[in-house]
Structure 1
């Protein structure tokens, strides 16, 4: 649905271009959440919004969305393996929030094509 699209590839490139943000620990840590916990929480919230905004999605389509999110989380774990369990800084939190919103936009675009 989205992981095989150019937009997703561009988002992964965007993430890799900003890996320095995750490798630096100079910033203030604002909470106890790790980088991956924040990604998972933000993506879950975005996907709940996607499904809530699209009540006409079939059970199969919702399952496809969930499988796609699982694949995205797997990709993030691979890319961020060295820092996934580090506590997130305020800058990382902002980036994760933005990135998760961009993932939601990809789903919104693909779901619009289904209707």
Structure 2
């Protein structure tokens, strides 16, 4: 659905262009959240919004979306493997929010193209 689109490839490229934000950034010792926890939280929130905005999605379609999110989280764990357990910095948190919105936008497009058209 989403992970096999050109848009997803561009979003992953966008992440790789900003890897230095994660690799060279000191962690925020005041934060209790890890990079992975923020990724999971932000993606979960965005996907809940997608599903709530599209109430006509069937149970099976929602499961497809959840499987896609699982695949995206796996990809992010692979790309950010060295830092997923680090405390998240404010700049990393902001980037993850932006990244999650890009993923949501991609889901918005694909949900309408594949399920609602």
**TM-score, normalized by the shorter chain, greater than 0.5:** yes
Count of matched residue positions in the alignment of Structure 1 and Structure 2: 115
1:12 aligns with 2:12: yes
Deviations 1:50-102 (A, max 9, x none): 00000000111000000000000000000000000000000000000000000
The answer on whether the counterparts of 1:27 and 1:89 sit within 8 Å (CA) in structure 2 is yes
Local SS of the residue matching 2:3: coil
Unpaired runs of 5+ residues, structure 2, are none
TM-score (normalizing by structure 2): 0.94
- What's the offset of the Cα at 1:31? 1.7
Q: Which has the higher strand share?
A: 1
The answer on whether the counterparts of 2:27 and 2:87 sit within 8 Å (CA) in structure 1 is no
Cα RMSD over matched residues?
A: 1.2
The answer on whether the counterparts of 1:38 and 1:96 sit within 8 Å (CA) in structure 2 is yes
The answer on whether the counterparts of 2:46 and 2:104 sit within 8 Å (CA) in structure 1 is yes
Unpaired runs of 5+ residues, structure 1, are none
| Runs of 4 or more consecutive aligned structure 1 residues displaced over 2 Å after TM superposition | 25-30
